[in-house]
Structure 1
Amino acid sequence: MRESRDFAVTVLVLAVLGVAAGVVWSLVAPRAPYVALDGGPALADPSTQALVAADGWFAVITGAVGLAVGLVGFVLSRGRSPAVLAGLAGGGLVAAFLARWIGGVVNLGTAHVAAPVAGGPAVPGALELTASGVLVTCPLLAVGLYGLLLGLGLYRDDDPVPSPPPL
């Protein structure tokens, strides 16, 4: 029963943090500018780095969340709960997908246009990930830090240097 509770609490905390991370991502990540043409929306500035920058900001924000919850999860569980470790992995994925969804819906960022746009006024496009691999940043860093701390703790518990025999 306790293991189920630990897992559920870990996933729930990560889900809430994922929503907060999505809002922060929406606030700080640049949005690519688009212009409305007859054939549909098109990038206003093809040389923009906003698409790559948005992926980078997502990785930084969710990575910071992953490191924080990995450390807190280890400290609170004293490194003895496989349910917390599983919750970090599953909840980290939930947090990443929620951050991606919330970040695309909230629209707090601004569009940056490097050159004048022909064809009409530029509008900020929806925030989205172009590199789906950054979705694993949060769970990877959370589980990795938990495992590293667990390994260091086990190494410290094991005395690798034997004591000299008494004289």
Structure 2
Amino acid sequence: MDDLGARLRAAREVAGMSLAAMAVRTHYSKPLLGLLETGKRTIKPEHVVAYSRALNVSVGTLYGRLDDPLRVAHEWLVADTPVQRYSAAGSRVGPSLASELEQRVIELRHLDDVIGGGDLIPLVRRELAEAERVVNESSYTEHTGRRLLTVVGELAV
């Protein structure tokens, strides 16, 4: 988290913007922004998006390296989940969604090895809620259903 805070501060300073001016542009308090930049408060995706808009820089620039696990986790939080993308197609779920959800469980485990549970909890909770919604509200074959239930079980652990 400290690296992301440092990148937010560096981007603000490069833009020549004071913390007070950033507070006005982002609608966050000056003390909160100071805590984010020093790593004393957890940086949420909406904070990064606010900095991006206020400074007119890409979110990717603020997150840093493409392979940074924290960046990956934050990008997941701001992106649509596979369930949200598939929901537009109707209530019938096929094996491709099950495969995508299984892959996300694997990626979450890898992220957990590097990041730590506290930062991933919101992401895992969202993924679990989405998977449970698919199991409860969609139709699918028995085989796909078993795979979806396995995903729910993996996420719930």
Q: TM-score range by the shorter chain?
A: 0.3 to 0.5
Higher RCO (CA-CA < 8 Å; seq separation 6+): 1
In the superposition, the TM-score normalised over structure 1's length comes to 0.33
- TM-score in terms of structure 2 length: 0.34
Pick the structure with more strand per residue: 1
The structure carrying a bigger helix percent of its residues is 2
